[in-house]
Amino acid sequence: MSGFRVARWMIGLAVLALVALGGTDRVSAADKRLTIVATTGMIADVARQVGGDLVSVKALMGPGVDPHAYRQTRTDIVALSKADLVLWHGLYLEAQMEDFLRQLAKKKTVVAVAESLPKNMLIGHDDYADKFDPHVWMNPNLWSRVVLTVRDALIAARPENEAKLRANAAGHLAELRELANYTTQVLSSVPVESRVLLTAHDAFNYFGSAYGFEVMGIQGISTESEAGLKRIAELVDMLVARDIRAVFIESSVSDRNIRALIEGAAARGHAVAIGGELFSDAMGAPGTYQGTYLGMIDHNTTTISRALGGKAPEQGMLGKLS
């Protein structure tokens, strides 16, 4: 038996054993909170917004964690096996967990929330055939469709609470519409010639498509891809030729390549500053405004606009940015 087949066989055994182990501990009474495990903080935030006091939500990946490279731990496997509902992103975001999650879906309710999006709304890429850019949360209007998927999954799990879940979802969707209006307003104030967003990896293509920005990443859509010296040299040439003065680091990706870009431009006599740190694949710290989806996108939008010459309030849409 090949190593790959052995690995898949072991994953299957682990899923079967742990589902059986956790089955007796799961919350099943209608008057108890629904236990949800979500892979990313963004999905966990949606579940909390829609579920309110009806749910208990755990996110596997916290601030600064790269979902492209994340592998489930023993503790994660136990939590997933005991959950009433498992929510993951899909679209190859959790590449290292995908086999495990698809095996788990054979034994319990596991929903890949972004895979419900119409394919004509997704951005493809050249690195993987028949795969799509997973970073759909960068467009609040697109993310609103994910909210509906999460809402429907919660209703299926707790149909007796349908009215409350629909009301909670409607309230959150109204917040996302306000956020989308804010992003459109402040990003449209950035001069057209300055609408170039250069970051560590290609996490902002949906953002660029929605708001008319040219997006460039040193690495590809996955942080697993490598950035060579040729790529960095090409980007340095572009920074100098187009007189671009600001680039951005990401909270969940090493800033090593961005620093190399800045040093390369400096060697050519061209000064480039870091425009700020953006949240790409993970949100901010729990308990903070930036630790919510609204705060994450508000922070990114405000930071990008102000760094590239646009007009945005220093403390963001709601005056909550620190």
User: Domain range holding 282?
Assistant: 184-307
- Stretch (H or E) spanning 246: strand 246-250
- Answer with the residue of higher pLDDT: 27 or 16: 16
Q: Are residues 127 and 218 in the same domain?
A: no
- Answer with the residue of higher pLDDT: 127 or 320: 320
Whether residue 7 is predicted with pLDDT greater than 80 in this model: the reply is no
Q: What is the mean pLDDT of residues 66-71?
A: 93
- Answer with the residue of higher pLDDT: 201 or 245: 245
Q: Are residues 152 and 68 in the same domain?
A: yes
The pLDDT confidence band at residue 31, using thresholds 50, 70 and 90, is low
pLDDT of residue 218: 81
Is 259 a domain residue?
yes
Q: What is the mean pLDDT of residues 195-203?
A: 87
Query: What is the pTM (predicted TM-score) of this model?
Result: 0.87
CA 255, distance to chain mean position in Å, is 18
Q: Are residues 167 and 246 in the same domain?
A: no
pLDDT of residue 128: 66
pLDDT of residue 127: 65
Among 63-77, 110-124, 220-234, 288-302, the least confident range: 220-234
Q: Are residues 90 and 215 in the same domain?
A: no
pLDDT of residue 45: 98
Residues 118-146 as b/e (b if ≥16 CB within 10 A, e otherwise) read eeeebeebeeeeebbbbbbbbbbebbbbb
The residue out of 179, 198, 233 marking a domain boundary is 179
Q: Which residues have a Cβ under 8 Å from the Cβ of 300 and sit 6 or more positions away?
A: 138, 207, 278, 279
φ/ψ of 120, rounded to 5, equals -75, -5
Q: Which residues have a Cβ under 8 Å from the Cβ of 295 and sit 6 or more positions away?
A: 283, 284, 288, 289, 316, 320, 321
Q: How far is CA 222 from CA 8, 218, 261, 287, 296, in A?
A: 23, 11, 19, 28, 20
Given a contact cutoff of 8 angstroms between Cβ atoms, the answer to whether 299 and 277 are in contact is: no
- Counting the structural domains of the chain, the total is 2
